[in-house]
Amino acid sequence: MKIETLKSIISKKENKSEFAIVTNLTTGESEIFEKNKSLSKELEKYSTQINDFYKSKKNGVIEGTEIFIETYIRPIKVIVVGAVHIAQYLTDFAKSLNFEISIIDPRGYFASEQRFPDMNIINKWPHEAFKEIETNENTALIALTHDPKIDDPALHHALKGKFYYIGALGSKKTHTNRSVRLKLAGFDENEINSIHGPIGIKLGGKSAPEIALSIIAQLVSETYKKWLKLFY
């Protein structure tokens, strides 16, 4: 591998860019593949297969060749607002799926290292916490506190930031009241309707692990929908 290619790979990893490394296993030569960028003449004939690996986020060798593709996909950032009991199961699920997790809760007795080991915990109110987190349209928000003083500012930030997934815990009545507050805050109907509330798919369960599972299932589903829109 050329030193210039290696330096570029290191830089892209540090910047959490999405790309693939395409390597000829016979010659050992590698180059970087990115969406909407051309390949060398040697690899251009394999562009369809390389793109298929990239879209499916898989690694492997193109059948009948010595061309190996290794994909690097930017981790989806998931922000959990409210370090409640459900959040403990939810963050375990999310961590196992390679989501990049941050927990926001000003209540230090809930959001503690003991309850959430090896997690990025921010013991601040959302309007302050978001100053410490870089967010964009690749970010998901899960609001779990039931407390408008904590959940609503986070929802405002997520809606303005056009997060690809926004979910909020609570009954239909709770969500109706939440929607009224958001409308009074200046958000339109389409923005409010983009919130998954009540959050999660309908599994029928009521325990904390079951609710967490329903939320993570919905998050994964919406994540794949996002990827499909991105690549097709």
The pLDDT profile of the chain, 232 residues, written as one tens digit per residue, is: 678 888 888 887 777 778 889 998 988 888 898 887 888 888 888 888 988 888 777 788 999 999 999 888 777 899 999 999 999 999 999 999 989 999 999 998 899 999 999 999 999 999 999 999 988 888 999 999 999 999 999 999 999 999 999 999 999 999 999 999 999 999 999 999 999 999 999 988 889 999 999 999 999 999 888 766 655 4
- Cβ–Cβ under 8 Å, residues 71 and 49: no
CA neighbours closer than 13 Å in the CB half-sphere of residue 146? 9
Which domains are seen in the chain, by residue range? 3-72 (no CATH), 77-231 (3.40.50.720)
Could you tell me the two tokens for 203? 């599994």
Could you tell me the two tokens for 142? 């899960």
Could you tell me the two tokens for 173? 């009545």
- Cβ–Cβ under 8 Å, residues 154 and 143: yes
Q: How many Å apart are CA 153 and CA 100, to the nearest integer?
A: 21
Q: What's the confidence (pLDDT) of residue 156?
A: 97
Residue 154's closest CA among 146, 143, 144? 143
Those residues whose C-beta lies under 8 Å from the C-beta of residue 6, and which sit 6 or more positions away, are none
pTM as predicted = 0.74
CA neighbours closer than 13 Å in the CB half-sphere of residue 186? 5
